[in-house]
Structure 1
Amino acid sequence: MAQSTVAPAVSPAIGAGAPLPLRAVLPWALFVGTLMLVALYFVGAEQGATSVFAGKEVHEWVHDGRHLLGFPCH
């Protein structure tokens, strides 16, 4: 008795050669870029001349990151 097998139709996954539309990527790229700019501000400029929060709490939380990225803070 002969058996026949039929392979299921599989659509290509994203990243497997299928193009990713710009409309799907753009909102996420803007969101991540904004988060990165906010993080860079807090690490690099907060507690300076453009301070948003009073006190030294933000400075203490990002102190090691400031030195790691080359920002002077003392």
Structure 2
Amino acid sequence: MAESAVPSAASPQAEPSPAPLRLPIRDIVPWAVLAVALAAILIYFVGAEQGATSVFGGTWVHEFTHDGRHLLGFPCH
């Protein structure tokens, strides 16, 4: 009878599975905090930087983020 082309798990030719990748939380937390801070700043400038909540004078921030504002569904007119 012909042998199967796929080795079975019990065969001695099977390769051992690699060890799982471990990432300590201490290595992830600073990057996660940075990502959340950048996302919050981006959402503020795209969604709220106009009118009464404006931090910067003029309309240059509004005009710079105008298309992104409409793309994300924020009303601005």
User: TM-score when scaled to structure 2?
Assistant: 0.73
User: How far apart in 2 are the matches of 1:64 and 1:43?
Assistant: 9
State yes or no: 1:21 paired with 2:13: no
Displacement, 1:36? 0.4
Q: Which has the larger radius of gyration?
A: 2
Q: Do the aligned residues in 2 keep the contact of 1:47 with 1:54 (CA within 8 Å)?
A: no
User: TM-score when scaled to structure 1?
Assistant: 0.76
State yes or no: 1:36 paired with 2:56: no
User: How far apart in 2 are the matches of 1:33 and 1:51?
Assistant: 21
Give the alignment's Cα RMSD to 1 decimal: 1.4
User: How far apart in 1 are the matches of 2:50 and 2:24?
Assistant: 41
* 3-state SS, counterpart of residue 49 of structure 1: helix
Task: Decide which of 25, 49, 53 is 1:46's aligned counterpart.
Answer: 49
Runs of 4+ in 1 over 3 A off after TM superposition: none
User: How many equivalent pairs are there?
Assistant: 60
Q: Which runs of 5+ in 1 are unaligned?
A: 1-11
Identity across matched positions, percent: 63
